[in-house]
Structure formats: structure tokens, C-alpha cells
């Protein structure tokens, strides 16, 4: 698939997409550079956010082929205690609620290193992972999690179903926002589910992104930004009914939706009806709602750039924490680089020794914060603020301070 701009909505196909926010051209947010590649030119792609008035889906226009995005994949879910704890709690709950046992099947799309499916396996429930990144899938298989190394879609689901796989639960956490062929993936969920089986799908919630000025969740891997309204329209197109929804704090605010094949779907819960009505109330179907967001992003840019410039003028030393995709969008769009920041600390051993895309900051282990003891640390992974502030208690005890940029600029 070539890269390029879409001509119509990724969900409903309608034209007339309304521009919301332009972040210019940026390198791929997860394309960390090895020392050898530091002096090679980096590819950049347009990053333009638009709104579909026909189905309400917010999306970016550029599709970068997944092979380019995932060629070298650095994100291992198990490096985050928060992610693993979140997965464990959900699995325990679903095993109980749905009465799952040795005759059941729990599947996960984009199963990463098995961070979630491992808890089903511990409970004696058969599992099946689908994960496109070969190095990550290999880790899962080594842990004993059967994993198909492919991009999930209607074709893969058809083949798995023909092989006799029928799932009681299909998980897909933070995957739907990443896929260019939305309709193929949702059709695939439907194909892989048993009658009466359910999806458990988590997506960042567009309302939380807009209200929290979380513009740094916009990068080329995140093609879509969902409301329940947009998801409901997408799922119904493929014979799936969203019967329950929950709002989660994870990743700056997410939706978890449970959807079941229409013929076996229970009546949607009050939570579904109430959230759909609430979305109409704040204007989910209107471009105006999304346009106010761009102005708030510009204000945050002025505030944060002003703060770090003032600190540098006073001779303060500043590092950053979290060589994340979010951080890449923030640093590249705000133009904060090596003139301001000394390095980025990150707990992921596969990122350490590399450099950040566009800004070329060296990535060190978190211990570097104690060795260098910069005066301030810009927290790029603000979505894990509680976890990271707790891990960095010693740095803070010695007088180090964190700058948390989102949802509101604060120094702690
Ligand atoms: Zn649409």
C-alpha cells in the first residue's frame, strides 16, 4: 500500500472532510534512530486532522504503510506496570462475568508480547494472539502464548475461523485507531466471534483528547480518534451491536466498548444510551466542537515554550522523560530539541542508546536522571505521570522537578 492522503472518510467513505488542526510535516513518531543512522535524512509526512460530517469520525488524512510504521517496533507493553495491571484486572473480571473455562477461547488483536493473554493462560483458558511485529510476537511465543504474526483483517479472521477458531472474547486494545482498513478489521471481529461472544475494545476517546488538549496523541500511527457515536455507526455496518461502554482513565481517557453479533445482542445498557445522548449534547456531529481544540493547542505551545526558554535563560538544566510517540509529536511540533533538552530518559531497554526522531535527543536509562541530576524533567509520557513520579522519588527528593505539559501545564 502506498502512502498518501485519503479521498474519503476511513469509516463511511463520505467526502467533504473538514480540516481541524494542521501539525505540519513530521517524522514518524516511533522511528527512533540508531547512532549509525543519525546523520541520514529522515522521511517526513503531513499530519493533518480532519472531521467527517457524515459519520462524525475524526481522523488524519495521511496513510503511512504499516510496514514502514512497524518495521522496527520498540513498544513492549510489559514495560509498563500500569498497562499490565489494567490487563490483569480486565481478564479476571471477564473470566468471572462470562464464565470462561478450558472450553473457551480468548483472542487478542495486536496482542503485543502477551501482556494480556498471559492472564487467561494462567486461568487455564485457551488463547490466541495476532500480532504483526515479528520481534514482539516472538517474545509472546517464548512465553507460551500462541501468536499469529500478521496484520489482522477480514482475510486473517476468515482463515482463523475456517481453522476452527471461534472466540468467546476478542480483545483489541489501542488497535482500531491504527488501522487503515477499519471496515475490514471490524468485519474480522465479527467473523472471529462465537454467537453470543463479545469484543472488548479500547480506543482513546476523542472527547478526552479535545477537552484535555491531548494533541500529542496525534501521530501517523493513530489514523482515527473515536467517539461512541462514530464507533456505533461503524460497528452496526458490520452486524455488531455495542451493548456496553465504559470510560477509562488510561491513555489520557479511553472508551472500552463491548459489542456482540446483532442476532445475539442484549439490549444496550443505560450507559450506552446515556453516552450517545451526551455526545449529541456536546456536538459530536458538528465541526465547531473540534475547531476550538486547535486554538487551545496553540496556547499550550506558547506557554510551554515560554517556560522552558525562561528556565534555560536562568541557566537551569532540563532533560525529558519518555521517548514515546506522544513525546515525538510534542517536541517536533513545538520545536523543542537539543538546544533545550540534554537527553531523554526511558525505561525501555530497546529504546536506550537510540535517538529521538526529528529532535535527535539521546535516549538513556532512567538512572541517568540521578547521575546527571538536571534541574527539571519534561514529562513526555504524562499519561503515566503517577507511575513515573513514584519511580522517580529519589530524583525528586534530591530537588529535581517535573514539568507536566498536558492536560494543563504544571511543575511538580
Ligand atoms: Zn465518515
- Cβ neighbourhood burial of 107 (10 Å; 0-12, 13-18, 19+): buried
In a domain, 51, yes or no: no
The reply to whether 236 and 120 lie within a common domain is: yes
- Asked whether residue 203 falls in the same domain as residue 298, the answer is no
Instruction: Tell me whether residue 109 is in a domain.
Output: yes
Task: Say if 39 falls within a structural domain.
Answer: no
The CATH code of the domain that includes 303 is 3.40.50.720
Q: Are residues 231 and 345 in the same domain?
A: no
Q: How far is the CA of 9 from the centre of ligand 1 (A)?
A: 4
Closest CA to 201 of 219, 175, 236, 229: 175
Residue 340 resides in a domain:
yes
Count of domains forming the chain: 2
Domain boundary among 247, 274, 301: 274
Gap from CA of 12 to ligand 1 centroid (Å): 4
- The Å distance, Cα 245 to ligand 1 centre, comes to 21
State the distance from the centre of ligand 1 to the C-alpha of 284, rounded, in angstroms. Answer: 12
Whether residue 81 lies inside any domain: the answer is yes
63 alpha carbon to ligand 1 midpoint, in Å?
16
DSSP-derived pairing of the beta strands 193-204 and 167-173: parallel
d(CA 255, ligand 1 centre) in Å? 19
Same domain as 209, residue 124: yes
> Is 354 in the same domain as 322?
yes
CA–CA gap between residue 116 and residue 125 (Å, rounded): 12
Q: Are residues 301 and 329 in the same domain?
A: yes
Confirm whether 116 is domain-assigned.
yes
Residue 84 is part of a domain; what is its CATH number?
3.40.50.150
Range of the domain at 136: 77-274
The answer to whether residues 209 and 245 belong to one domain is: yes
Q: Which protein residues have a CB closer than 5 Å to ligand 1 (ion)? A: 9, 11-12, 14, 52, 54-55, 57
Q: What is the pLDDT along the chain (412 residues), one digit of tens a residue?
A: 445 899 899 999 999 999 999 999 999 998 899 999 999 999 999 999 999 999 999 999 999 987 777 544 555 666 677 789 999 999 999 999 999 999 999 999 999 999 999 999 999 999 999 998 888 899 999 999 999 999 999 999 999 999 999 999 999 998 899 889 999 999 999 999 999 999 999 999 999 999 999 999 999 989 999 999 999 999 999 999 999 999 998 877 999 999 999 998 899 999 999 999 999 999 999 999 999 898 899 999 999 999 999 999 999 999 999 999 999 999 999 999 999 999 999 999 989 999 999 999 999 999 999 999 999 999 999 988 999 999 999 999 999 999 999 988 999 9
32 CA to middle of ligand 1, Å? 33
| C-alpha 302, offset from chain centre | 26
Full 3-state SS string of 111-138: CCCCCCHHHHHHCCCCEEEECCCHHHHH
Single residue among 240, 274, 308 that ends a domain in this structure: 274
Q: How many CA atoms lie within 13 A of 289 on its CB side?
A: 21
Distance CA 336, CA 317 (A): 14
For residues 118 and 261, membership in a common domain is answered with yes
Domain closes at, from 218, 246, 274: 274
Same domain, yes or no, for 81 and 144? Answer: yes
Q: Kindly provide the b/e burial profile for residues 340-379, where b requires at least 16 CB atoms within 10 angstroms of the residue's own CB.
A: bbbbbbbbbebbbebbbbbbebbbbebebbeeeebebbbb
Distance 59 CA to ligand 1 centre (A): 9
Based on the fold, state whether residues 111 and 184 are members of the same structural domain.
Answer: yes
Residues 264 and 378 in one domain: no
What's the pTM value of the predicted model, to 2 decimals? 0.88
User: 251 and 325 share a domain?
Assistant: no
Q: Is residue 105 part of a domain?
A: yes
- Calculate how far, in angstroms, residue 301's C-alpha sits from the geometric centre of ligand 1: 30
Amino acid at each position: 500500500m502506498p502512502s498518501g492522503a485519503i479521498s474519503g472518510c476511513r469509516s463511511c467513505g463520505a467526502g467533504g472532510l473538514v480540516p481541524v488542526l494542521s501539525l505540519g510535516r513530521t517524522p514518524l513518531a516511533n522511528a527512533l534512530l540508531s547512532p549509525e543512522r543519525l546523520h541520514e535524512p529522515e522521511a517526513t509526512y503531513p499530519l493533518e486532522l480532519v472531521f467527517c460530517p457524515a459519520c462524525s469520525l475524526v481522523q488524519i488524512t495521511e496513510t503511512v504503510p504499516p510496514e514502514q510504521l512497524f518495521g522496527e517496533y520498540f513498544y513492549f507493553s510489559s514495560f509498563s506496570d500500569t498497562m499490565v495491571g489494567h490487563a490483569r484486572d480486565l481478564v479476571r473480571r471477564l473470566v468471572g462475568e462470562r464464565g470462561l473455562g478450558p472450553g473457551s477461547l480468548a483472542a487478542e488483536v495486536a496482542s503485543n508480547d502477551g501482556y494480556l493473554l498471559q492472564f487467561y493462560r494462567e486461568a487455564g483458558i485457551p488463547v490466541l494472539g495476532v500480532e504483526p511485529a515479528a520481534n514482539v510476537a516472538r517474545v509472546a511465543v517464548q512465553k507460551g502464548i500462541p501468536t499469529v504474526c500478521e496484520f489482522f483483517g477480514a482475510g486473517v479472521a476468515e482463515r482463523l475461523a475456517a481453522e476452527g477458531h471461534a472466540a468467546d472474547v476478542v480483545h483489541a486494545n489501542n488497535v482500531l485507531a491504527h488501522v487503515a482498513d477499519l471496515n475490514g478489521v471490524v468485519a474480522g471481529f465479527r467473523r472471529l466471534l462465537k454467537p453470543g461472544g463479545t469484543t472488548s475494545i479500547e480506543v482513546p476517546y476523542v472527547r478526552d483528547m479535545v477537552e484535555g488538549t491531548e494533541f500529542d496523541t496525534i501521530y501517523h500511527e493513530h489514523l482515527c480518534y473515536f467517539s461512541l457515536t462514530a464507533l456505533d455507526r461503524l460497528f452496526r455496518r458490520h452486524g455488531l451491536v455495542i451493548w456496553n461502554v465504559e470510560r477509562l482513565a488510561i491513555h489520557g481517557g479511553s472508551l472500552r466498548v463491548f459489542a456482540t453479533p446483532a442476532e445475539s445482542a442484549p439490549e444496550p445498557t443505560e450507559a450506552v444510551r446515556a453516552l450517545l445522548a451526551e455526545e449529541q449534547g456536546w456536538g459530536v456531529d458538528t465541526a465547531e466542537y473540534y475547531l476550538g481544540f486547535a486554538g487551545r493547542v496553540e496556547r499550550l505551545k506558547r506557554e510551554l515554550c515560554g517556560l522552558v526558554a525562561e528556565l534555560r535563560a536562568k541557566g537551569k538544566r532540563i532533560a525529558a522523560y519518555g521517548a514515546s510517540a506522544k513525546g515525538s509529536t510534542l517536541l517536533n511540533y513545538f520545536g523543542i530539541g537539543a538546544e533545550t533538552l540534554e537527553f531523554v530518559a526511558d525505561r525501555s531497554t530497546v529504546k536506550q542508546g537510540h535517538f529521538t526522531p526529528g529532535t535527535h535527543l539521546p535516549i538513556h536509562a532512567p538512572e541517568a536522571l540521578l547521575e546527571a541530576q538536571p534541574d527539571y524533567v519534561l514529562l513526555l509520557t504524562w499519561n503515566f505521570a503517577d507511575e513515573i513520579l513514584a519511580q522517580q522519588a529519589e530524583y525528586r527528593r534530591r530537588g529535581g522537578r517535573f514539568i507536566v505539559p498536558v492536560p494543563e501545564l504544571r511543575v511538580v
